[in-house]
Amino acid sequence: MTTPEHKALEQEAIDSLDTLSVVPAFRGQVGRLIGWIDALFTGLAVMALVAIAGTVLLQISGRLFLPFPMAWTEELSRYLFVYMVALSAGVVLRRNRNVNVELFHHCLGPRARAGYQALVCLLIGGFAWIVLPYAWQYAQNGAWQTSPTLKVPMLYIFFSTVVMFVLLLVYSAIGFLEGMAAMLRRPADHDAEAR
């Protein structure tokens, strides 16, 4: 049986594993809007994952039960995977779920963690800003090509890079602003946030 104390200890253990979770997210209408956007892109990424699973199952069953192979299933699953990664990149950044090495995060106070988040988001956003025009050029290269079996213009497939870098740019701006807002709070606000 789970008690409230047990749940609180469990949540504390989970939060201690993710040291950047103490940086407070936006609240109010802005927080709700960001939450809806998160839910939208998470839902789209999950739909792509489910479609990948369905496509792969169709491919396997086709190999077992049909006299001819369905070559388009492998291509479709590859494109769905690319879009799944592109659609989830921003949410992964927002939830601090990227692969990282945490050598010193636990030693930082709330303001330093917020500053660290702001710095990381600024660097990721700067990188996305620099790469975004090249991603658009890359996507335009696909306008004259079609995929081998599905005959889909490769513009739509290559456009996934644009989607990914736009989402990284938007979510890094959100993370930067949250980090700066948390850094500029008075110490009393941090204490109230910790409770």
Answer yes or no: pTM beyond 0.85. Answer: no
Cα end-to-end distance, the chain, whole Å:
25
Q: What is the pLDDT of residue 105?
A: 73
Q: Which secondary-structure segment (H or E) carries 182?
A: helix 154-183
pLDDT value at position 14? Answer: 62
Residue 111 near residue 23, CB atoms below 8 Å: no
101: pLDDT strictly greater than 80? no
Between residues 117 and 68, the one the model is more confident about: 117
**Percent of all residues in the chain with a pLDDT value above 70, rounded to a whole number:** 89
pLDDT of 43 strictly over 90: yes
Question: Rounded to whole angstroms, how far apart are CA atoms 23 and 187?
Answer: 13
Q: What is the mean pLDDT of residues 17-39?
A: 83
In this prediction, residues 92-102 reach a mean pLDDT of: 81
Backbone angles phi, psi at 166, to 5 degrees: -65, -45
